[in-house]
Structure 1
């Protein structure tokens, strides 16, 4: 189980007896991004350093003190036995290159998974730490099983640059210290159990060409010198040397999918150095993917989107050069910005055998999101890409992303929650499930695992969270929207737009407008009448969701003023610049009146039930008062009334009896008439439709009779607890303008007979 399918002299560089001695692993290709003739970018090579950890005498702890290193960006702790696990806590911290700042302690996921048969070493998940030049590590296994043998720290520099595929480059070995033995490659064999992760190599003629630029018959890298077989110390006799990969691998067809294929960044684009993994890809024995296993890479989330390719290259180098896997373990990788990367070679549209879910590799495909999601959920962009890839891959084999899959265990195992099974058992799992469901690991982290139900819904549909937010184009009263004809319907959904095939605007159950899945609104023109409007979302799977219907009334009938606007004088303080008056009206609508707006001489808006409002107007100035009634659909009707307030002061009145002139700036015009003589009178004749009597008032003020056109209309008491000037105390309004006479007569009230007046104001 632990015999590698291939070996590299570069794997044998751990100075097992040199605690703390850094060892530079061999580098394939160049030390920096290569380029072909003419400047064409080439694959990006990686470098690695390793150093053994100092293990305590009782074998329960290990450490590596602070030290300088060559530049690196990714690291992991590995050990000799691929089947062993670290039961304790593995922590590292690093020094940022160029700043000298040390990071906090970073806990590494203690197990990258057994991967595939032939792994040279076991190890933690690799952790991206960014450009670094110093490191410190510690392992605490006091409360767990003894630590595995051969603990070392592996540091990877993934290189940088643009790339395209180049011929595999030769490489040299720079060994320091005592090499750790590395097993040789056995001859390919067809596995007896499809679930163990062993890749079958049937000798069948090639029937297709893998996608993403992967050749159907890859050429292996040729080492610069012969490599003698090396045996694993604890295992049996050595296997024969590795043979060159057979050019007769059967490449399964790429079946069509029920879901669209999302963009995938090819291995050449992210800089895969194919020379380090020359073996041909393997395919699922049944050539059918039954489930998707979701992972996280259990590393820092602090990488930038531009660093995504470097992170992938680092994982690739770690899996192949440090752990001895034949290729990158995951089928796909996704960064936090949603970019999807091709993982293991063989064609992204083929059922490629990965090394991501030990015991279940032969029936699944693996997607890993770069970062750690124990307490922080992955970004929406990353989850969207996982859902898209899962839907596409499962759609190739008729598997519903929201359904379940029955998998046959290729080996005995235990899940993170304690579920156990024996080799050959059949386990029913969600078609999209977390790594922890089939292996005792935290992967993909609690926060991400709790989001897998969302990912399934996004991938399989229907569209979730679909809500009709508003219908615009007119107004809304209660739950009904009104329009003349045109409407804009706005909606939202929680399913990402990339997974929505289209939206349809329904009017009375029929689709009248179709939009892209990225749309959040649509327009329609309605015929007159009452309609039911809804939005239907079509998921890429074909499933549909429809919002609750909104009632929309289309109508073009304008409101009417059943009471035309009219003006009347009202009580209150009078100034020449502000005569108090009331504007009245009544508007109605056959559907739903929205408002009445006063547009001149000032702007005001009134609700649909308001029928009057108080205003003031300048004396002697003709003013037109304009109103617009608007219904909820936007139909309008206008009406107006004009009026001129005119002040007739006391001096213009016809007098009888004794009146005294008083002077004060508080009076209109600075003067007023006052009389305490019983039956003293003043009268004014005017033409208008409304009139008000203007007086001064105090605690000693008396009473007066008011006659209109010779008929007594009222007796008014001018007494007031507070002194008032220019007070319109009494008013009268007629339906139309006419000639009228107003006469006031002093009552001669006992103890307070005085009546003081500024005149009258009338509205013509």
Structure 2
């Protein structure tokens, strides 16, 4: 037999003589919460105000005008018949106690789901509105059947204590602001409303003898929240014996707490969120078959603006609303989750037991209920909240061998209809996902479109395998295309969309064998490879034991250094000569047995060249010995070095052996400020030097003539100095040998018709 639910209604407080005063329900006990002996948080007392709504004469609409209230943070609209529903739209707006600003109009979810057998009242889902001190209500039922009788607004102040950051708030007398509606009184409502007078239990003073007794000292407290993340086993987990489950009185047969195939997540106990156990002393009930077949996911509606510090107060508000306003024996949900991912113990009886909740009308006897604090009609729940829902669902279903990704066959305890219009009769069997939304078994939007669309993700997270597993990169020395190269060491990086809390471990695979194992929170691992070509992959092990493996990446490990098959060498090149910048060409060739990456010039300047480049133009200061150092790199990071030294030397025209007529010309444009010019056919200049490369330097113009060039007594070339633009110090002709040796260069004036003159600065050679 159920314990009467009027025991908690202490003396009613009626503020006589105050305009617009609301009826106040106050709980006995501590005013604002406190601590038990030893400093543990004590129960936090909640308070409630109620006032009847004015119903229109045709019974299709109702309202409560804008008015002052005592402090509250949660509200709902309730009615006398717990089996009835409001077919219209219920909207409220509230005034912030801090800013005094009025909120937008909030739509309350149609009803709380008729979850508790023997409930005293029906009602909307409660809405968290934050600390408030003013309210207005409107109910539009004109497009539906007549509104239920006994409509009233219920406002809950969840109290504050050590378990929440909310500050205690004192009640204030209403009347500071003009009310738009007549104030309900202790007399019968105006018969012109078309509703029957409904007795308000809050107006009946409860004798002191009916004050509820203190909870039995022999009743152990609910488990405290875990302070650390549990380890993630791949074998079934044993019951948590370090945190004893709250036990009912001996008159209730307590079912066992079976081990689960999934780890238990941290759970904030009822004591930790400040549950006042004195308001719900009835013993818990347990599922008839002592087996949970499915998880029903809910949201609490219109409460996204709470802070994470306020979440315990939100839970207390829902608890008070369910018990004190609707007359349920306890909080309806088995578990609650806030947007930060904190999990709260809901209905008492043991989080690890098959406790009968009051959350899914017709299906309570086979399911457990998880409700996320917030409204998710258009806004998706946070990843943290979804993660915690998946963890709780996996743990609870894992106790009874139910795969979270499977379906469950449930027997309807009463006739019903789903949100999409599917109907059933009492005793019918329905096949639903093992994790499904409240709307699947009841005509409600809960848990909102945005959350409902995420339930497939929650199922995958809960049951595995790990989703979205991607091998992001393999870091060796370098990567070319799809292949990574290294001497031996690699770092493998990956990502997954399944939250880390649901992943048991990752395994790094090399050629199909595990070489490293990391925690589920890791995103990288290191390995040392033997020489050769390998296939590297990552395997994710879900807490269910299911595995997912990435596509393999090719990694080549090798330690052989590249080689300079052509050592670096220098040669003079054509171009403008300055004493500080003699143009020359640096040549080389590097190869590697696997893959050459690049060749770097490290001195006298820094340059990097691709693997197929074998030469580059540079300049060097004349008369200065310069060493050109190079380093070849293969893809694995192995290196080889080589160098060449050279000194460009300028031999002025004045150092040449002359024949024929030559005239000295002066200009700052010439090397050294002077040059020789001749128009005499067969006039010549010759220079002898020891080196491996030589360049003839001249001035050029449109009137410049031609010259024969002899190398070591042999005619080698005839060069035309004519140029459409005037040029000075132009290295017009070069020759390079494989090694350094003594050579003689001779130029002879051709005497070209119409433009016989040539002007020369001298030569440059490289020693």
TM-score w.r.t. the length of structure 1 is 0.88
> Corresponding residue for 2:9?
10
Look up the SS of the partner of 1:257 in the other structure: coil
Q: Provide the rounded CA distance (Å) in 2 between the counterparts of 1:180 and 1:662.
A: 126
1:731 equivalent to 2:734? Answer: yes
Distance 1:137 1:157 in 2: 18
Distance in 1 between the 2:299 and 2:86 partners?
19
Q: Which residue of 2 aligns with 1:216?
A: 247
TM-aligned CA deviation for residue 712 of structure 1: 1.3
Q: 1:288 to 1:667 in 2, by over 3 A?
A: same
> Following the alignment from structure 1 to structure 2, what is the Cα–Cα distance between the partners of residues 138 and 725?
96
Quote the offset at 1:603 in angstroms: 1.1
CA drift of 1:57 comes to 2.1
Q: Tell me the distance in 2 between the aligned counterparts of 1:138 and 1:350.
A: 42
CA contact (8 A) 1:13 1:176 kept: no
The equivalent position to 1:645 in structure 2, one of 648, 653, 663, is 648
**Helix, strand or coil for the counterpart of 1:305?**
coil
- Residues 13 and 755 of structure 1: CA distance in aligned 2, closer, same or farther (over 3 Å): farther
Quote the Cα distance in structure 1 between the aligned partners of 2:502 and 2:295. 17
Establish whether residue 487 from structure 1 lines up as the match of residue 490 from structure 2.
yes
Determine whether 1:180 maps to 2:199: yes
Change (3 A) 1:80 1:207: closer
Q: Deviations over 1:362-396 (max 9, x none)?
A: 00000011101111111111111100000000000
1:518 alignment counterpart = 521
Alpha carbons of structure 1 residues 4 and 58: separation in structure 2 relative to 1, 3 Å: farther
Of 309, 312, 315, the residue aligned with 2:312 is: 309
Contact 1:477 1:592 in 2 (8 A): no
Contact in 2 for aligned 1:20/1:52 (Cα 8 Å): no
Distance 1:62 1:743 in 2: 117
Find the counterpart in structure 2 of residue 160 from structure 1.
160
Q: Is the contact made by 2:280 and 2:329 (CA closer than 8 Å) also made in structure 1?
A: yes
Residue number in structure 1 paired with 2:461: 458
Q: Pairwise mapping of residues 135-534 of structure 1 onto structure 2 (< 5 A)?
A: 135-162=135-162, 177=186, 180-181=199-200, 215-218=246-249, 247-534=250-537
Q: Aligned equivalents of 1:560 and 1:385: distance in 2?
A: 58
CA displacement at 1:530 relative to structure 2: 1.5
CA distance in 1, matches of 2:425, 2:222: 35
Report the CA distance between 1:211 and its aligned residue. Answer: 5.3
Deviation at 1:14, TM superposition (A): 11
Matched with 1:668 is 671
How many Å apart are 1:141 and its aligned residue? 1.8
Aligned Cα root-mean-square deviation (Å): 2.3
**Cα 1:209/1:328, change in 2 over 3 Å:** closer
Instruction: Give distance in 2, aligned partners of 1:101 and 1:759.
Output: 93
Displacement after TM superposition at 1:601 (Å): 1.0
Separation in structure 1 between the aligned mates of residue 219 and residue 27 of structure 2, nearest angstrom: 35
Q: How many residues align?
A: 701
Contact 1:24 1:176 in 2 (8 A): no
- Of 693, 704, 709, which residue of structure 2 is paired with 1:706? 709
Aligned-pair CA distance for 1:270: 0.6
Contact kept? 1:569, 1:731, Cα under 8 Å: yes
Structure 1: 5+ residue stretches without partners: 165-174, 184-205, 219-246
Q: Residues of 1 paired with 2:185 and 2:66: CA distance?
A: 20
Conserved? CA contact 1:402–1:432, under 8 Å: yes
**Bigger shift: 316-325 or 56-65?**
56-65
Alignment of 1:618-633 (within 5 A): 618-633=621-636
Q: Does structure 1 conserve the Cα–Cα contact (< 8 Å) formed by 2:13 and 2:24? A: no
| 8 Å CA contact 1:338, 1:385 repeated in 2 | yes
The Cα of 1:53 is off from its aligned counterpart by 1.8
Structure 2 residue runs of 5 or longer lacking an equivalent are 165-183, 188-197, 203-217, 225-243
Higher mean displacement: 273-282 or 739-748: 739-748
Counterpart contact for 2:219–2:248, Cα < 8 Å: no
The 3 A distance-change label for structure 1 pair 732 and 14 is: farther
In terms of mean alpha carbon deviation, does 691-700 or 408-417 score higher? Answer: 691-700
Normalising by structure 2, report the TM-score: 0.88
- Is the Cα contact below 8 Å between 1:21 and 1:52 reproduced in 2? no
CA distance in 2, matches of 1:298, 1:12: 31
Quote the offset at 1:108 in angstroms: 1.4
Deviation per CA, 1:1-20: give whole Å up to 9, x if none. 9x9852346399799xx996
C-alpha deviation, 1:497, in angstroms: 0.6
Between 1:499-508 and 1:677-686, the stretch displaced more is: 677-686
Q: Is the Cα–Cα contact under 8 Å of residues 11 and 322 in structure 1 kept in the other structure?
A: no
